[in-house]
Structure 1
Amino acid sequence: MVKEQKSENGKGLGIRHLQSLWIFLGTAATFAMRVNLSVAIVAMTDNKNANPNFEEFHWDEKIKSYLLGSFFWGYVVTQIPGGYISQRFGAKFLLFFGILFCSLLNILTPWCASFGGWKLLFASRLLQGLCQGGIFPSCHVLLSKWCPPEERGVIASFAYSGSAFGTVTILATSGFIASAIGWPSIFYLSGISGLVWCGIWFFFGSSSPAQCKLVSIDERLMIETSLGKSQNEKKKHLSTPWKKVFTSPPFLSLILVHSTNNWGHWTLLTQIPSYMKGVLGMDIKKNALLSALPYFSMCLMSFAFVAVAKILSEKKYISVEMERKLFNTIGHWVPMLSLVGLGFVKTHATMAVTLLTIGVAFNSAIHLGFQVNHIDLASNFAGTLLGTTNCFGNSMGVFAPLAVGFIVTDEHDPNQWRIVFFIAAGLYFLGNLMFLIFGTTKEQPWNNPGKDEEVNTEELKPIKPEGAA
């Protein structure tokens, strides 16, 4: 009875929600640094619509495509190692150093471009991708330690919605920054925001409740009891059971749904501008606010989905597994319908923008769907699992544009674009269908072989906090 009372007293707003806020701000900073080149490169190569007092570079489209893709060359490489390191040594400092070095490289970006040209800038962006590769696996490890299962979807969705917030912020303000202050300030401000976050995270972030001196005994006990294991006892370094992982139908469905989601995501966010310019005669890249509209809608819908999920969780209208599959269906099949609709839009620019915005906005529901399912399956290996599926998923950022280039030989031909949209829509449908069939929230047997241990509630003094003031 005492255990239940203490566990109950730990509920409500607490330090776990503060950790989620720090992750939200951290992902916002990382996405601002990730996408800033895509908007800054316009001013860097054409200063007619920007502050003319800064250097202009004469790069052709081939070089610009190399620069815009260079980040992901490094990003894919460190996904799996990032997950392993964060599990083995703690997620706090991998997240800290990843954002710290990325922020410093961002601040040095203007110097790289001026001193070493596009080659040094390419190397800088590749290094930034390497730095950010471990960030989302680290976040998954953190969430697996801090989130009670019944709150996991809501807390994780809020934390990851920072990516949309960071994107919309940099897209909406970059045009003004480039014209009023100059394009280098886009990188300076992005990098400084990352450094400020690092300062906050160093003193207030923690890898787990057991390593946090701010969390109350009640909240810590509630979290650890709900997770079914004590984080006070000496951590066991479990070897990843790769054979069992890659023969697990629920995990294989995660790889598929993550990959198909990213194919559709990159089709929506990287190819639609070319479609609108070629078919509709409208270049939305020149309008910062219009470019930011889908991301702004995505940010708003993320909060809306969090609110709905919170109600469903508190009222227990549906099971956790049903909740995952419901939101994943919304996040995949609504964008699927948007893509099908785009395939039949030929002259109505307003309709195309509306469909694009709906597709991107509703895709945010995936944060309550497959995105958090890695933790459900195996919280002890959540970082490695996400790193693995993220590695497969982000490779779609390479293959999807290649497929578009193969199919669309004439960007003014709407019939060719229709094929592109239908392929992406079909993959959205297939990925979610496999998740509905094989997906589960049941902990997998290979996650914790010795799971008969009970939580030690008698010794709950925090161990030495990481980087505590």
Structure 2
Amino acid sequence: MVLKGWRLILNRVIFIPQRYVLGIMGLFALANSFTMRVCLSMTITQMVLHSESSEHIVGETCPDPQYVGMMNNTIIESTTTSTLLERREKYDWNEATQGLLLSAFYYGYVLTHLPGGLLAEKFGGKWTLGIGLLSTSIATALTPLAVSLGGAVGLFIIRVIEGMGEGPVTPAFVLLLARWVPPSERSRFGAMIFGGAQIGNIFGPYLSGHLLANNGDWANVFYLFGGLGVIWFIFWVLLCYSTPNTHPFISEEEKLYLNNNIAASGLHKKLDPVPFKAILRSPQLWVLVLAAVGHDWGYFTMITDLPKYFSDVLKFNIQETGLMSALPYIAMYVFSFIFASLCDLCIKKKWHSITTGRKIYTTISSTLPAVFVILASYSGCNRVEAVALFIASMAFMAGFYSSVKINAMDIAPNYAGTCSAFVNGLAAISGIITPYLVGLLTPDQTISQWRIAFWTVFVVMVGTNLVYLIWGSGEQQWWDDVDKYGYPKGWKHGLLKKRRPDLEKKVVYPKHDHSPIAHD
């Protein structure tokens, strides 16, 4: 009864299009998910024991500006640190162990991508996504307890659980976008929703830096972001729905508009089983996987290890590290809307095709960031130059939201959840590899060691982009809608759906088109 009354109130007072409500709630969803994902990158710098040293190797390590005069404050620092240790234990974890802990999230994240996409297609994106993020929020709030009980093992396990909760987020949102957003608006909505990740990357480090300043308790970071996730879930359940046709207070005008302009047949009828035999044989999907791997290799290196670079190499204090870590994502967030608007405008005006647009912005988001990361590694201890180059790198990486991130709904609007899960799940393996690899490559936190780590980023991002430029596509694939396109010539792997004589159609192959056309 209460829920019905709430819906009646919303029906009268909410006058903005419901797809924009979904977009705004999606922005907050991604913001919450990324604050919970990246908060360990900041807190781990305060959870571990550090040995103070004044040693500075010219050209290999940077001088610590805070070391000057430190001896004058020894008594004060010692007292404050002692008080902190009484409240919260610190741990003797080396760089390799820290890298393993930072990668733990992605073990769970990879595991639930494909199941999350399948669940979203079966039960709807609303509940798959909502329950996933709720479980991550609860696990985040329980992180201090897990660490106190199990140390590194407890932290690893709870981070895997958090990753499992977030695994369905991207495939569920891609499916929601495929069923809520017309093609001419997808880049803009992709930037709005997935750009929320940058809001999380901005406020996560920034707020963490304030909470951790002056020996603040690192547990408060997990309590804050876990609590915000629970609050988001309540609003999500009340305001958002899996399709326009199941939404209780959408206007008839908007519902008609969406039904007339969205290609996903799953909006109107029950889908056939996922055509795995065709999906796994699709070159366009595998090329998209490689492009996503390349982007994620650079992106996860930045969001996971950039705070450590600012803190351990450039010697920013924890509050400065929070601010410096946030600045690149402010640039990325702003540029995501600039690139999305340009992409949507060019597609709407037919200045270039969807395929061309995806390739342009994939190149922008891969090649240019890789170049700026390398330049940053050669800036040495020039902190202003290094930060400026990292900001430029992340700004151009924003083109990802107008390209690879939404490309799954171009090639498969009906099975966007499964395809997005497949692409993002495999690409997220980068999140497992990169933190641990960086930990192995940078045992002494020297500039030359970090330069090697950044060169690996360059090679992977540029190499995968070249593959996508050659074979990438923005066109709907035949296996996404067999009733519309039929089977390609030479297909020898059986039917993708159960044979129904009453609906069978004869397949005719036109002379100048690789896609068959079905006729009654």
**TM superposition score normalised by structure 1:** 0.85
Q: State how far apart, in whole Å, the 1-side matches of 2:33 and 2:39 are.
A: 10
- Number of equivalent positions: 439
Q: State how far apart, in whole Å, the 1-side matches of 2:83 and 2:364 are.
A: 43
User: Structure 1: which 5+ residue stretches go unaligned?
Assistant: 1-11, 454-469
Aligned partners of 1:31 and 1:163 also within 8 Å:
yes
Aligned partners of 2:188 and 2:337 also within 8 Å:
no
- How far off is 1:148 after superposition? 0.5
Name which of 254, 261, 282 aligns with 1:226. Answer: 261
Q: State how far apart, in whole Å, the 2-side matches of 1:116 and 1:229 are.
A: 47
Give the corresponding residue for 2:8.
Answer: none
Name which of 185, 191, 197 aligns with 2:232. Answer: 197
- How far off is 1:120 after superposition? 2.7
**Pairwise mapping of residues 372-391 of structure 1 onto structure 2 (< 5 A)?**
372-391=406-425
Q: State how far apart, in whole Å, the 2-side matches of 1:307 and 1:232 are.
A: 26
- How far off is 1:49 after superposition? 7.5
Give the corresponding residue for 1:428.
Answer: 461
Name which of 85, 91, 112 aligns with 1:58. Answer: 91
Name which of 22, 25, 30 aligns with 1:22. Answer: 25
Aligned partners of 2:186 and 2:344 also within 8 Å:
no
**Pairwise mapping of residues 23-422 of structure 1 onto structure 2 (< 5 A)?**
23-45=26-48, 52=84, 54-61=87-94, 63-179=97-213, 182-228=217-263, 233-236=268-271, 238-271=272-305, 281-283=314-316, 287-404=321-438, 411-412=445-446, 414=448, 417-422=450-455
- Give 3-state SS (helix, strand or coil) of 1:289's partner: helix
Q: State how far apart, in whole Å, the 1-side matches of 2:151 and 2:304 are.
A: 25
* 1:362–1:116 distance in 2 versus 1, CA, 3 Å: same
Identity among equivalent pairs (%):
29
Aligned partners of 2:187 and 2:341 also within 8 Å:
no
Give the corresponding residue for 1:6.
Answer: none
Aligned partners of 2:27 and 2:193 also within 8 Å:
yes
Aligned partners of 1:284 and 1:290 also within 8 Å:
no
Q: State how far apart, in whole Å, the 1-side matches of 2:397 and 2:82 are.
A: 33
Q: Structure 1 residues 303-312 or 128-137, which shifts more? A: 303-312
Q: State how far apart, in whole Å, the 1-side matches of 2:93 and 2:17 are.
A: 52
Q: State how far apart, in whole Å, the 1-side matches of 2:266 and 2:276 are.
A: 24
Matched to 1:19, the amino acid is L
- How far off is 1:405 after superposition? 5.7
Give the corresponding residue for 1:459.
Answer: none
Q: State how far apart, in whole Å, the 1-side matches of 2:444 and 2:204 are.
A: 32
Give the corresponding residue for 2:482.
Answer: 449
- How far off is 1:436 after superposition? 1.9
Aligned partners of 1:210 and 1:231 also within 8 Å:
no
Matched to 2:244, the amino acid is P
Q: Could you report, residue by residue, the CA deviation over 1:255-292 in whole angstroms, capped at 9, with x for unpaired residues? A: 110111112223444455666677x6535766211122
- Give 3-state SS (helix, strand or coil) of 1:287's partner: helix
* 1:93–1:283 distance in 2 versus 1, CA, 3 Å: same
Q: State how far apart, in whole Å, the 2-side matches of 1:343 and 1:233 are.
A: 52
Q: Could you report, residue by residue, the CA deviation over 1:192-240 in whole angstroms, capped at 9, with x for unpaired residues? A: 211111111111111111111222222222222222366564413x222
Q: Could you report, residue by residue, the CA deviation over 1:19-69 in whole angstroms, capped at 9, with x for unpaired residues? A: 111111111111111112222233444695898373223332255444322
Aligned partners of 1:24 and 1:161 also within 8 Å:
yes
Give the corresponding residue for 1:438.
Answer: 471
- How far off is 1:422 after superposition? 3.3
Aligned partners of 1:86 and 1:383 also within 8 Å:
yes
Q: State how far apart, in whole Å, the 2-side matches of 1:389 and 1:50 are.
A: 48
Q: State how far apart, in whole Å, the 2-side matches of 1:447 and 1:186 are.
A: 43
- How far off is 1:315 after superposition? 4.2
Q: Structure 1 residues 49-58 or 203-212, which shifts more? A: 49-58
Aligned partners of 1:104 and 1:191 also within 8 Å:
yes
* 1:436–1:172 distance in 2 versus 1, CA, 3 Å: same
RMSD: 2.9
User: Structure 2: which 5+ residue stretches go unaligned?
Assistant: 1-14, 50-76, 487-520
**TM superposition score normalised by structure 2:** 0.77
- How far off is 1:166 after superposition? 1.1
* 1:374–1:425 distance in 2 versus 1, CA, 3 Å: same
Matched to 2:155, the amino acid is L
* 1:289–1:104 distance in 2 versus 1, CA, 3 Å: same
Q: State how far apart, in whole Å, the 2-side matches of 1:66 and 1:35 are.
A: 14
- How far off is 1:162 after superposition? 0.6
- How far off is 1:311 after superposition? 3.8
- How far off is 1:248 after superposition? 1.7
Aligned partners of 2:103 and 2:435 also within 8 Å:
no
Matched to 2:456, the amino acid is I
- How far off is 1:70 after superposition? 1.9
Matched to 1:15, the amino acid is Q
- How far off is 1:81 after superposition? 0.9
- How far off is 1:308 after superposition? 3.1
Q: Could you report, residue by residue, the CA deviation over 1:423-469 in whole angstroms, capped at 9, with x for unpaired residues? A: 3223222222222221111110000112389xxxxxxxxxxxxxxxx
* 1:289–1:211 distance in 2 versus 1, CA, 3 Å: same
* 1:167–1:421 distance in 2 versus 1, CA, 3 Å: closer
* 1:148–1:420 distance in 2 versus 1, CA, 3 Å: same
Q: State how far apart, in whole Å, the 2-side matches of 1:201 and 1:320 are.
A: 31
- Give 3-state SS (helix, strand or coil) of 1:235's partner: coil
- Give 3-state SS (helix, strand or coil) of 1:380's partner: coil
Q: Could you report, residue by residue, the CA deviation over 1:153-212 in whole angstroms, capped at 9, with x for unpaired residues? A: 111121001111012112111122234873322122211211111111111111111111
Matched to 2:481, the amino acid is N
